[in-house]
Chains A and B, each alone.
Chain A
Amino acid sequence: MNTSGQDSQYSGYNFAYLDEQTKRMIRRALLKAVAIPGYQVPFGGREMPMPYGWGTGGMQLTASILGANDVLKVIDQGADDTTNAVSIRTFFERVAHVETTTRTEAASVIQTRHRIPEKALSKGQILVYQVPIPEPLRFIEPSEEETRVMHALEEYGVMHVKLYEDIARHGHIATTYAYPVKVDERYVMDPSPIPKFDNPKLNMSDALMLFGAGREKRLYAIPPYTRVKSLDFEDHPFEIQAWDTPCELCGATDSFLDEVITDDQGGRMFVCSDTDYCQNRREEVA
C-alpha cells in the first residue's frame, strides 16, 4: 500500500479523504479483526460526507486500505450502475484518483452492499461490506453489555431460538438475508444483509472479507480460507434460494435473480442481480 500523501487532484484533501492517523487507527483495528475471525472490533468511526446507512462504514475501510495502484469496484445490490455504487465510485475517483472498474476479476478492492459477486473471487482480492447492524444477537438480546458477555462465553443458544421461531411460524427457516453464520467454529457473525444465497461463498473463500459498520463503529473480518458455517437444525438443514426460471437476459440458472416490474399490468421479469456477471454472459453468447 503506497499511499502517497498529497497527489489527490483536489488540493486540501488527503489521499482517499481520511487523514493518515485515522487510516492507521482503522488498519490497526483491521489487523485485530483478521486475527480474531468474526469478532467485532470497535473503532473510532469518523464523520463521512454522507449520511449513515449509505455505507459510511464500508467507505472508511476502503479509504484505509486503498493504495494508489489499487483498482476499485463498487456494487450496490450486485449492480455497478445504481446510485449508491456510482456515487461511492466517483467519490474515490476524485479523492484517491484510483482506477475503477466494473469487472469483478480486474478489481483488487470491491466495496459491496447486499451481494457477493457471482464470479468466484481470487487470492489477493479484498471484499469490503457495508454493514447496518453488526450484532447478530441484538434482536433477541437488546443489551449490548449482555451480548458482549454472550460472545465472550460462546452462549449462542438464543440464535437457534430465532430459527426455531421461523420454522414454527412458516414451516421453514424464513430468514433469507443477514443469515447468521459461525466463523471458524467460534464467533457467531452477521454477514451484513447479503442474501443467504451468498452465504456458501463465505466459506473457505480465496479473498479477504472486511465488514464495516459506520453508525455502530465496529468492524470485523473473515480472513481467506476460513470455515464459515450457516446455522441450522439437523432436521431443517440450511438451504439457499432457488428460482423456477433462468435470468431472462442471459439465461443463467446459477445466479441470484432480482424481480423487476416492467409495467403496471402485472408484467415482471427475473434478471441477474450481478450486472457484471450478466453482461459478460451476454457478450459471450453474442
Chain B
Amino acid sequence: MKRPQLKRPALLDARNITRLYGPNQGCQDIDFTLHQGEVLGIVGESGSGKSTLLRVLSGLEAPDEGQVIYHSTQQASAAAGSATENLDLYAIGEARRRALLRMEWGLVHQNPRDGLRLGVSAGANVGERLMALGQRHYGDLRAAGQDWMERVELDPRRIDDAPRTFSGGMQQRLQIARTLVTQPRLVFMDEPTGGLDVSVQARLLDMLRTLTRELGLSVILVTHDLAVARLLAHRLMVMRQGRVVEAGLTDQILDDPQHPYTQLLVSSVLTP
C-alpha cells in the first residue's frame, strides 16, 4: 500500500534574513522553512515588511544579512542525477539566479500589468517562458497557450487579443497562466486578488487552489486579506514592524490567536 509522504522534504530555507531601509523599515531576523507542496501565507498590515521579505526571497533584492537556501532537484550535475543541490540564492551569481527565476520559480505580481507584456498578444505572453527555455515550434507554443488559457478559465479563442482588452480579473488569470506554463516548483504571489471585486476574487481563489493542488506547487503568498489566507494557505506567518510575531497552522492562528497583534488582526475582520 502506498502511504502518503508525511515528512516532506524542504524546498526553501530562509535563515535570519534582515533587510532594513531604516530602523524598523523592512524585515529583520526572518527564519523559516518551506516544504514541498506547501502554501505559506505571510500576513500583516501595510508597512510590516511583507513585500520586502517577498522581494528578498524571490531573488529581486539582496538581504543585508542572512541566506536564502533553495533545494534544487533539477539536473544538479550530470553525474549526480536527481540528488538535491543546495543553492544559496545570493551566492550563486546573477546568471544562475535569473535562470532559476525563469525556469523553476514564478512570480505573480499584484498588478497584472507589471507581470504581463502589454504590447503583445495573450498567446505570446503565455509562450514567452517556453520560448526562453528554447522552444522553437510555433504550433506547439500556440497549443500550450490555448491549453493554459483554458486551464485558467479564459476563452482560448481570445489567444490573439491584446491583454489590455481583458478585464482586471482576466489579466490576473493570464498572468497566472504565463507563470505556470513552465510548471515551476515554487511560486511567489504578492496580493494576487488585490483590486478585484468579491465574486471575481472567489473564482480566482477557487482556481488557484485547484491549480496548486493539481500541480503540487509550493507557494509563498503575501496578503493582507485573512480570508484569502484562510482559503489558500496551509501555514501562516504574521508580521509586524518587520518581525514575525506568530507562526503556525492557518486554522490554529486564525481560530486561536496568541499574540495580541494577531488577536487584533483577527478581530478586525469585517463580516457582512
Write the residues of chain A forming the contact surface with B, with a CB cutoff of 8 angstroms: 140, 149, 153, 155, 157-158, 160-162, 164-165, 167-169, 232-236
List, in ascending order, chain A residues with CB within 8 A of B98's CB. Answer: 149, 153, 155
B132 on the A face (CB < 8 A): yes
- A267–B70 Cα gap in the complex (Å)? 68
Contacts of A161 in B (CB 8 A): 117, 120, 124, 127-128, 131
Contact B94 A164 (CB under 8 A): no
Q: How many A-B contacts are there with CB distance less than 8 Å?
A: 60
Distance in angstroms between the alpha carbons of A167 and B138 in the assembled complex: 8
Q: In the complex the two chains form, what is the Cα distance from A224 to B130 in whole Å?
A: 34
| Bound Cα distance from A280 to B272, whole angstroms | 86
Whether A140 contacts B117 by the Cβ 8 Å rule is yes
Would you call B94 and A160 a contact (CB within 8 A)?
Answer: no
A149–B102 Cα distance when bound, in Å, is 14
CB <8 Å contact, A164 and B141: yes
State how many residues of chain B have any CB contact under 8 Å with chain A.
26
- Contact (Cβ within 8 A) B129 A168: no
A234 and B94 contact, CB distance less than 8 A: no
CA distance A180 to B133 in the complex (A): 19
25 of the cross-chain contacts (CB-CB < 8 Å) are A149-B98, A153-B94, A157-B131, A157-B132, A158-B128, A160-B131, A161-B117, A161-B124, A161-B128, A161-B131, A164-B120, A164-B123, A164-B124, A164-B141, A165-B120, A168-B121, A168-B123, A168-B142, A169-B121, A169-B160, A232-B136, A233-B136, A234-B136, A234-B137, A235-B137
Contacts of A233 in B (CB 8 A): 136-138
Q: How far is the CA of A234 from the CA of B160 in the complex (A)?
A: 20
Q: In the complex the two chains form, what is the Cα distance from A162 to B102 in whole Å?
A: 19
| Interface positions of B (Cβ within 8 A of A) | 94-95, 98-99, 102, 117, 119-121, 123-124, 127-129, 131-134, 136-139, 141-142, 159-160
In the complex, the answer to whether B160 meets A168 with C-beta atoms within 8 Å is yes
What 6 A-B pairs come out closest when comparing CB atoms? A157-B132, A160-B131, A157-B131, A233-B138, A234-B137, A165-B120
Known A160-B131, A168-B123; judge A153-B141 contact (CB<8 A).
no
Nearest CB on A from B149, distance (A): 13
Q: In terms of DSSP, what is the predominant structure of the interface of chain B?
A: helix
How far is the CB of A174 from the nearest CB of chain B, in Å?
A: 13
Docked CA distance A165–B99 (Å): 24
Q: How far is the CB of A133 from chain B (nearest CB, A)?
A: 17
Kindly provide the distance from the CB of A19 to the nearest chain B CB, expressed in whole angstroms: 40
In the complex, the chain A residue whose C-beta lies closest to that of B138 is A233
> Within the complex, which residue of A157, A164, A235 is in contact with B129, where a contact is CB–CB below 8 Å?
A157
Task: Kindly list chain A residues whose C-beta atoms are within 8 Å of the C-beta of B99.
Answer: 153
**A155 near B132: Cβ-Cβ < 8 Å:** yes
Known contacts A140-B119, A161-B124; decide if A153 and B95 are in contact (CB<8 Å).
yes
Most B CB atoms within 10 A — which of A155, A160, A232, A234?
Answer: A160
Check if A164 sits within 8 Å of B131, measured CB to CB.
Answer: yes
What separation, in Å, do the CA atoms of A233 and B137 have in the docked complex? 5
Provide the bound-state CA to CA distance between A164 and B99, in Å.
Answer: 22
Q: How far is the CB of A164 from chain B (nearest CB, A)?
A: 5
Determine if B138 and A236 form an interchain contact, defined as CB atoms under 8 angstroms apart. Answer: yes
Task: State in angstroms the CA–CA spacing of A232 and B121 once bound together.
Answer: 18
Q: What CA separation (Å) do A9 and B101 show in the bound complex?
A: 61
Q: How far is the CA of A140 from the CA of B99 in the complex (A)?
A: 19
Which residues on B sit within 8 Å (CB–CB) of A149? 94, 98
Which of B95, B124, B131, B134 counts the most chain A CB atoms within 10 A?
A: B124
The reply to whether A160 and B121 form a contact with Cβ atoms under 8 Å apart is no
